Amino acid sequence: MQRHFDQDLAHLKQTLLRMGGLVESQIQQALQALVDRDSDLAVDVIKQDHDVNALDVEIDELCIQLLALQQPTARDLRFVTTGMKISSELERMGDLADNIAQRTLELNGEPQLKPYIDIPRMANWTMRMVKDCLDAFVNSDPVLARKVCADDDFVDEVNEQLFRELLSFMLEDTRTITRAIRLTFVAKSLERIADHATNIAELVVYMVEGKNIRHVAPSASL
């Protein structure tokens, strides 16, 4: 019985990693579609959301089945509930990659506003956070997980800086407004993807140490 359970846990882990890989690639392709102004690729990214959502439902049902079995150990219990939550976070990341692809389709209807420098920089940092949070999960690595949480500050700073730059475009020339706003939405989506990576990292710390590091620091913005 225990051996079967361990196989099921391994299967859950593999399925989560498969979902993570799909989402990582969705984000990377969404950015490529933006930078290359490639509408066909953007459409592909949007279609992939269906597969990501299907995996979320599959993982959910796997986790429910595991919980329904005989009293799991405290550690296995935390693994399964954490798995359910990681699946939700990944699904939302997929939605955000979808949003970026939608904005790309809209942006491709107009000439490119400016060379894309900050957005790819932000995207590379974000994608590394996504990769790291999933590695932290695979390896039960709370040190790497805490690093991901610290990395979130950089993304927030670049997002703010980019917003101010795009605002100055808009203030100078009203013909840039729709494109500048769409780019702020892309930057915002990347910032939210980074937040979800941070959420996964916090879940990994919880899973390994049994310690809830969410909401620990008082809001720095007040």
Give me the residues that bind a second copy (CB under 8 A), please: 43, 46-47, 49-50, 53-54, 56-57, 60-61, 63-64, 67-71, 74, 77-78, 81, 84-85, 88, 98, 102, 167, 170-171, 174, 177-178, 181, 184, 212, 214-215, 218-219, 221-222
Minimum Å distance from CB 18 to a second copy?
A: 17
| Cβ closest to a second copy, residue 36 vs residue 61 | 61
Of 92, 71, 80, 73, the C-alpha closest to 27 is 92
| Cβ closest to a second copy, residue 109 vs residue 124 | 109
CB-CB contact of 206 with 82 (8 Å): yes
| Cβ closest to a second copy, residue 64 vs residue 138 | 64
CB-CB contact of 170 with 182 (8 Å): no
CB-CB contact of 55 with 23 (8 Å): no
| Cβ closest to a second copy, residue 58 vs residue 135 | 58
| Cβ closest to a second copy, residue 124 vs residue 156 | 156
Minimum Å distance from CB 171 to a second copy?
A: 5
| Cβ closest to a second copy, residue 2 vs residue 221 | 221
Burial class (CB in 10 A: 0-12, 13-18, 19+), 170: middle
Contacts of 8 (CB under 8 A, 6+ apart): 62, 65, 66
Minimum Å distance from CB 124 to a second copy?
A: 25
Minimum Å distance from CB 47 to a second copy?
A: 7
> What is the Cα–Cα distance from 116 to 188, expressed in whole angstroms?
15
Burial class (CB in 10 A: 0-12, 13-18, 19+), 98: buried
Minimum Å distance from CB 221 to a second copy?
A: 7
Minimum Å distance from CB 11 to a second copy?
A: 19
C-alpha separations of 143 from 95, 201, 205, 208 in Å = 28, 10, 8, 11
